[in-house]
Amino acid sequence: MRYPILATVVAAILAGCSAPQSETGQAASADGERSAMEAATETAAPERTAAGDAADASPQAQGFAQHYELQGIAFDVRAGGGTLTVTPRGLEASNEAMVTEIEGTVSAAEVADVNADGSPEIYVFVQPPGGKATARLVAYSTNNLKSMSEIYLAPLSEDAENGPAFGGGNEFAVIENFIGQRFPVIGDDGKPTGKTRQLLYRLEPGEAGWVLVLDQVQEY
């Protein structure tokens, strides 16, 4: 009678020992599955993030929208998708929007009256896209507060004196009664000299419209 009882006890002990091992194996298996899933998620996440960042960083996705006012005239400046739109408000004859195609993005704009004639101008600064080094100025003047027309600035390639020193990296700004353009100076060998040249332009009426004329050259 003692042998069946002993066999029963041994069987119970063996069953009790095997149960934790089974649970441990299941837990390890579950942990392995979770680790694999987490690893897959971490691997996939940078791909989605990189794609999203690339879309947000594209010139098409970066817009610009600002409102400016001076001397009773308002300007709405909007840019995006390769198009710049400047809409005036308060002009007597025409408040038609001016639309221009641009490459790059609008970094800033300024409203001023650099020739002090009582009719404000709007100056929009366009930064080039990657791989291109020449910034652009898009500007408009209000003609006796009646309508808006474009202001012309000749490219530096047409400037026999300052053009050869230009290798890109130019910036624009309103400086008191002038429009300033500055850039790093390059030498005859095409290498940077470490100097900066600043050109100051005054606004004058031309034969076909308003023109920015070179007034001063500064170097430092």
For residues 92 and 45, membership in a common domain is answered with no
User: pTM value?
Assistant: 0.72
Of the residues 38, 57, 76, the one at which a domain ends: 57
For residues 42 and 87, membership in a common domain is answered with no
Residue 166, sorted as left (phi over 0), alpha (psi -120 to 50) or beta, turns out to be: beta
For residues 42 and 82, membership in a common domain is answered with no
- Residue 207 confidence (pLDDT): 86
Residue 184, sorted as left (phi over 0), alpha (psi -120 to 50) or beta, turns out to be: beta
CA-nearest of 80, 84, 83, 85 to 62 is 80
For residues 86 and 193, membership in a common domain is answered with yes
Residue 57: how many other CB atoms lie within 10 Å:
10
For residues 145 and 200, membership in a common domain is answered with yes
Of the residues 39, 57, 75, the one at which a domain ends: 57
pLDDT digits (tens, 9 = 90+) for 142-180: 999 999 999 999 999 999 999 999 999 999 999 999 999
For residues 98 and 178, membership in a common domain is answered with yes
pLDDT digits (tens, 9 = 90+) for 173-203: 999 999 999 999 999 999 999 999 999 999 9
Extended strands (E) in the chain: 64-70, 73-80, 83-89, 98-101, 105-112, 121-127, 136-143, 147-152, 171-175, 178-186, 192-205, 210-219
β-bridge pairing 210-219 and 147-152 = parallel
Of the residues 57, 73, 104, the one at which a domain ends: 57
For residues 15 and 83, membership in a common domain is answered with no
CA-nearest of 110, 111, 120, 104 to 58 is 104
Domain count, the chain: 2
For residues 115 and 92, membership in a common domain is answered with yes
- Residue 148 confidence (pLDDT): 98
C-alpha–C-alpha distance, residues 50 and 70, integer Å = 42
- Element (H or E) spanning 34, and its range? helix 2-57
β-bridge pairing 136-143 and 121-127 = antiparallel
Structural domain containing residue 81: 64-219
* Residues in the chain where the model's pLDDT stays below 70: 1-62, 131-132
For residues 88 and 175, membership in a common domain is answered with yes
For residues 34 and 50, membership in a common domain is answered with yes
For residues 51 and 90, membership in a common domain is answered with no
C-alpha–C-alpha distance, residues 104 and 52, integer Å = 20
For residues 53 and 72, membership in a common domain is answered with no
C-alpha–C-alpha distance, residues 6 and 148, integer Å = 108
